[in-house]
Amino acid sequence: MIPFVQVVFLLFLGSSERQWNHVHAFQSSSCHIRGTRVSSSSPSILGTTTSLRVATNPETSIDPTGKRTTPKEVVSMFDDFAESFEEKLVDVLDYKAPQNVSMRALERIKEDRNGKLYKSAIDAGCGTGLIGPLLRPHVKGPMVGVDLSPKMAELAAELVVDDAYTANADKVKNRMRRCGEVARTAQNIDRLYDGVFTGDLLQLHDASKIKFIDGLGHSVTSFPTKPVELIVCTDVLCYFGDMSEILAKFSDRLQIGGDLIFTTETLAQGDYNWVMTVSERYAHDADYVRRMAANAGLAKVSQTPFTPRWESGEKVLGILHTFTKTDDVIASTMSPNDLMDKPPL
Ligand SMILES: C[S@@+](CC[C@H](N)C(=O)[O-])C[C@H]1O[C@@H](n2cnc3c(N)ncnc32)[C@H](O)[C@@H]1O
């Protein structure tokens, strides 16, 4: 007989994944539907009824049904999900995109920046701040986070690092935890983000629309108006189908020579530039991303296949992109064959 605790654990795993699948990608061949527009109430996916939709890119296509997930939908989805987000992603789905992005920043520092740390950074769509402690050592100056969901951003704002003692060990360096302003100021605990804000990534050019989360002792209280040296964006662009506008906004916020490191989910088929999958997340063709970036003055450094997380026992396919801001637009003249630099991880 299966012990009671095991049953509870299995039920927890099942329901966590079901819930996440509703919010998040459920990668399967049925997600990528080509050639036809499908719009119907559709099969139930792991217990949730999801509308089966395919949105195709205006550049190539016929019938665009939506260029991004609306801000209202994002806020409602992630405000509800905030408290359980880390547990579900990290513990259940083995989410590793923040590690991959921060390691890429470190590689850039070592290989291409002569060991120079980034002077300033924006974590675009910071969520609960999972990348914060990983990226902090690579950014010398101000590092700010911004997210549309106030509940997600508040969790990022509460993050601090300190040197902790545990019962059986000596001091543990750089433990990350959450605490309020009183504890932070009383213990003089080191910052993680220098400022955390709520707002829409498409409005980053207008600092008045990006609101500071007050009351947690951060030193950067208004969103930086000067361009920064690094923008990271981890598992966020799956809420944007059309890449031209968002990449132009990022480019606008970057210094010449600054880096943009981000992830997307992979659209394996080549017929569309992007599609909305059954999970209501967008997947992108990597060459389309490269062309939109080039139009925005961002030159490709690398586009590498990687695994952001697992779902239903299968690897989710993703691409880790690194672009750098140039002072001239690299026209879309590079060969599409330069797409994959490295073999899959
Ligand atoms: C899957 S979570 C990833 C969070 C974090 N980057 C991480 O890797 O843990 C996606 C986040 O993107 C945010 N987001 C989606 N669209 C956004 C937009 N237009 N502007 C700002 N944040 C957005 C959501 O609120 C959510 O917190």
Tell me, in angstroms, the distance from the centre of ligand 1 to residue 168's CA: 37
Q: What is the mean pLDDT of the chain?
A: 79
Nearest-CA neighbor of 340 among 317, 323, 319? 319
Domain span at 131: 31-338
Q: If pLDDT is split at 50, 70 and 90, which confidence band does 195 have?
A: very high
Averaged pLDDT, 258-282? 86
Band (38; pLDDT cuts 50, 70, 90): very low
Answer whether residue 20 is part of any domain: no
Ligand 1, CB within 6 Å, residue ranges? 71, 74, 78, 97-98, 125-127, 130-131, 147-149, 152, 200-201, 234-236, 239
Whether 135 maps to a domain, the answer reads yes
- Compute the distance from residue 334 Cα to the ligand 1 centre, in Å: 30
Q: Is residue 51 part of a domain?
A: yes
Query: Ligand 1: which of 93, 239, 246, 250 to mutate, most ligand atoms within 8 Å of CB?
Result: 239
What spatial distance separates the first Cα and last Cα of the chain, rounded to whole Å?
Answer: 40
Question: What residue ranges in 226-333 does DSSP mark as E strands?
Answer: 228-233, 254-265, 274-276, 282-284, 298-306, 310-311, 314-315, 318-325
206 part of a folded domain? yes
The answer to the question of residue 17 being in a domain is: no
What pLDDT score does 201 carry?
A: 97
Does any domain span residue 213? Answer: yes
Q: Which of 99, 147, 253 to mutate to test the pocket of ligand 1 (most atoms within 8 A of CB)?
A: 147
Res 255: pLDDT: 97
Closest ligand 1 atom to the C-alpha of 89?
9
Distance in angstroms (rounded) separating the CA atoms of residues 246 and 195: 22
Residues 50-101: tens digit of each pLDDT: 223 444 444 433 334 578 888 999 999 999 999 999 999 988 899 999 999 9
Rounded CA-CA distance 228/254 in Å is: 5
This model's pTM is above 0.95: no
CA dihedral 160→153→107→95, nearest 10 degrees, is: 100
Confidence of residue 308 (pLDDT cuts 50, 70, 90): very high
pLDDT at 311: 82
For the stretch 207-253, pLDDT in tens is 999 999 998 989 999 999 999 999 999 999 999 999 999 999 999 99
User: Does 39 fall in a domain?
Assistant: yes
Kindly give the distance from the C-alpha atom of residue 239 to the centroid of ligand 1, in angstroms, as a whole number: 8
Task: Calculate what percentage of the chain has a pLDDT beyond 70.
Answer: 73
Segment 170-181 shows an average pLDDT of 79
Task: Report pLDDT for 269.
Answer: 64
Question: Cα of 198 to ligand 1 centre, how many Å?
Answer: 11
In this structure, is residue 124 part of a structural domain?
yes
Q: Looking at the predicted structure, is the pLDDT value of residue 166 above 50?
A: yes
Q: How confident is the model at residue 270 (pLDDT cuts 50, 70, 90)?
A: low
Tally of domains within the chain: 1
The CATH number linked to 126 is: 3.40.50.150
**What are the pLDDT digits (tens) for 120-150?**
999 999 999 999 999 999 999 999 999 999 9
